[in-house]
């Protein structure tokens, strides 16, 4: 199992990168896609209609738990999640975490959820998690850790300072990750590329690639079409494929590592 968390400042292209990684890796791997951004838009980028969010199931649990008698609550949650929250796309499964919890005590619900997710996740070869910069689900332990963290950044100061913060945060949270990477995205010129390279050097974060600004992405966005429809032989797509292979291998037992 390889768990990859894709994070970064809002609007930098986390979802675009996640969606393409999911799209390419799911061809050869048993894959779970997790949308851990409360403003979830991964399903749209993947062209998948999501079902209930984990958050919604947790709310149902909160109101029905008194009526459960001697029923086993973990089993109840597991059943609901498997039946109503996991969306089966053609090549992968999708789980949307949804909004954070409301008022009241969620300690027990979350503790059960952690158990269910841990058991569920270990059956996939690859898990790609699209998550906001605060890494909320990691800090709460709903998702127990990640092998690789990919920070997506644009050329902006803010994008880079967020990247720095994420690096610190992910060490504090003891996610036990093997490596943290940087990916530049929507880079329009050589200057942008230089800024990012310099930043990566300074911070000692390995730079996976600097992805260009891409007209096709903009067009798909305007038409409201899923990003995974993009021409997979385009320069952009080829570069993401390389990143995928770099992290996971090509599914035939070959791994560039």
Ligand X SMILES: Nc1ncnc2c1ncn2[C@@H]1O[C@H](COP(=O)(O)OP(=O)(O)OP(=O)(O)O)[C@@H](O)[C@H]1O
Which residues are at the interface with ligand X (CB under 6 A)? Answer: 8, 10-16, 37, 39, 41, 185-186, 211, 213-214, 217-218, 221
Q: Does residue 222 interact with ligand SF4 by CB under 6 A?
A: no
Q: Does residue 105 interact with ligand SF4 by CB under 6 A?
A: yes
Note whether 173 and 135 are within 8 A (CB): yes
How far apart CA 136 and CA 134 sit, in angstroms, is 5
Closest distance between other proteins and the C-beta of residue 4, in Å?
20
State the burial class of residue 207 (Cβ atoms within 10 Å of its Cβ: 0-12, 13-18, 19+): middle
Between 46 and 160, whose beta carbon lies closer to Mg ion?
46
Between 83 and 188, whose beta carbon lies closer to other proteins?
83
User: How far apart, in Å, do the first and last CA atoms of the chain sit?
Assistant: 15
Q: Contacting Mg ion (CB under 5 A), which of 15, 153, 170, 185? A: 15
From the list ligand X, Mg ion, ligand SF4, none, which binds 63 (C-beta under 5 to 8 Å, kind-based)?
A: none
State the burial class of residue 238 (Cβ atoms within 10 Å of its Cβ: 0-12, 13-18, 19+): exposed
User: By rule CB under 5 A, what count of residues binds Mg ion?
Assistant: 2
Q: Report helix angle 157-172 to 190-203, nearest 10.
A: 20
State the burial class of residue 29 (Cβ atoms within 10 Å of its Cβ: 0-12, 13-18, 19+): buried
How far apart CA 235 and CA 102 sit, in angstroms, is 44
State the burial class of residue 100 (Cβ atoms within 10 Å of its Cβ: 0-12, 13-18, 19+): exposed
Q: Does residue 108 interact with ligand SF4 by CB under 6 A?
A: yes
Closest distance between ligand X and the C-beta of residue 229, in Å?
12
Note whether 162 and 7 are within 8 A (CB): no
Between 63 and 107, whose beta carbon lies closer to ligand SF4?
107
Between 82 and 198, whose beta carbon lies closer to other proteins?
82
Q: Does residue 108 interact with other proteins by CB under 8 A?
A: yes
How far apart CA 121 and CA 71 sit, in angstroms, is 24
Mask 113-132, x = binds other proteins (CB under 8 A)? ---x-xxx-xx---------
Note whether 6 and 29 are within 8 A (CB): no
Q: Contacting other proteins (CB under 8 A), which of 1, 27, 83, 194? A: 83
> What residues make contact with other proteins under the rule CB under 8 A?
65-66, 69-76, 78-79, 82-83, 86, 88, 93, 103-105, 107-109, 111, 116, 118-120, 122-123
> What residues make contact with Mg ion under the rule CB under 5 A?
14-15
> What residues make contact with ligand SF4 under the rule CB under 6 A?
105, 107-108
């Amino acid at each position: 199992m390889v768990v990859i968390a894709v994070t970064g400042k809002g609007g930098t292209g986390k979802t675009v990168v996640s969606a393409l990684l999911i799209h390419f890796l799911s061809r050869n791997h048993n894959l779970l896609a997790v949308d851990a951004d409360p403003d979830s838009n991964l399903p749209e980028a993947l062209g998948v209609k999501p079902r209930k969010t984990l958050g919604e199931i947790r709310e149902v649990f909160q109101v029905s738990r008194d009526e459960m008698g001697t029923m086993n609550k973990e089993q109840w949650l597991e059943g609901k999640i498997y039946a109503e929250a996991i969306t089966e796309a053609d090549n992968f499964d999708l789980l949307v975490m949804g909004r954070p919890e409301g008022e009241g005590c969620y300690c027990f619900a979350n503790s059960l959820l952690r158990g269910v997710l841990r058991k569920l996740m270990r059956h996939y070869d690859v898990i790609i998690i699209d998550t906001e910069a605060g890494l909320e689900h990691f800090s709460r332990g709903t998702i127990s850790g990640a092998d690789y963290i990919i920070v997506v950044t644009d050329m902006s100061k803010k994008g880079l300072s967020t990247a720095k913060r994420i690096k610190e945060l992910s060490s504090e949270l003891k996610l036990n990750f093997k490596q943290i990477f940087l990916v530049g995205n929507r880079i329009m010129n050589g200057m942008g590329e230089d800024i990012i390279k310099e930043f990566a050097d300074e911070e000692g974060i390995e730079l996976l690639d600097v992805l260009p600004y891409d007209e096709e992405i903009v067009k798909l966005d305007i038409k409201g079409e899923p990003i995974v429809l993009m021409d997979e032989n385009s320069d952009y797509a080829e570069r993401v494929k390389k990143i995928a292979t770099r992290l996971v291998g090509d599914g035939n037992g070959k791994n560039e590592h």
